[in-house]
Amino acid sequence: MPPKRKEFPVSSTSDVKKPRELAQVNGKKDRTKKNIQSASKRKDAKCISDKVYTHWLMKSEPESRFENGIDMKFSIEDLKACSNQISCWDGVRNYQARNFMNQMKVGQQAFFYHSNCKEPGIAGIMKIVKEGYPDHTQFDEKDPHYDQTSSKDKPRWFMVDIQYERMLKRYIPLSELKALHKKHKEDGGPLENMALFTSARLSVQPVTQEEWDFIISLEK
């Protein structure tokens, strides 16, 4: 007699995933993964916002770029040339950046960061001389930062006044900071979790005391 064949249970048609069903399952997995990643980013952002900071980094464009006929250029040299070397820091249109500005206190220091230029980097230091108050550009229809949804009774956007303090002893480029950040991520170090890299799009960012001291040490 021939050997008895081993029988295996046959899957019913309901157990077999059709191509469309597989795509739906994979799509659901992708959405779940994205939701987890988004939740993680929101949690990280909330953790950053919840902390109390005493130092900052604020980005501005040192090269001419026109919007609605208005030059958006504002460099640390422009700040230095202002009356009493004081200017308002207006035009911030990101809620988290705005919230950081509202945390700022008179006397706190900030790095003046040159962005959107050939060699982005930290150019100098300024200090806060007036705490958050309504940003006038949100009410100006001719200004690129005009916001028709904001009202003078309930302003949405705020600004601070800053004063030039000094140039850094040398310009510290983003490329150098990025290389240090990568090294610190691998080996541990002050720039490991710096917002300049974890929240790169923010034009106003917090800086920890450790990060501040380390960057100041790079002047040498």
Give me the CATH number covering residue 201: 3.10.590.10
pLDDT at 52: 83
Q: How many domains does the chain have?
A: 2
22 & 120 share domain: no
- Using CA atoms, how far residue 116 sits from 36, 59, 62, 73, in Å, is 31, 9, 8, 10
| 154 inside domain | no
- pLDDT (average), residues 160-185: 98
Question: Per-residue pLDDT for 210 more than 60?
Answer: yes
Residues 45 and 113 in one domain: no
Residue 45 has pLDDT above 90, yes or no: no
Residues 33 and 113 in one domain: no
Q: Would you say residue 67 has pLDDT above 70?
A: yes
Asked if the structure places residue 82 within a domain, the reply is yes
Query: Mean pLDDT for the chain?
Result: 87
Is there a domain that residue 192 lies in? yes
Phi, psi of 131 (to 5 degrees): -80, 170
Boundary of a domain, candidates 49, 68, 90: 49
Rounded distance, CA 99 to CA 209, Å? 19
What does the pLDDT read at residue 29?
60
Neighbours of 172 (CB within 10 A): 19
What pLDDT band is residue 220 in, cutting at 50, 70 and 90?
Answer: confident
| Residues 111 and 69 grouped into a single domain | yes
User: What does the pLDDT read at residue 51?
Assistant: 77
On whether the pTM is more than 0.85, the answer is no
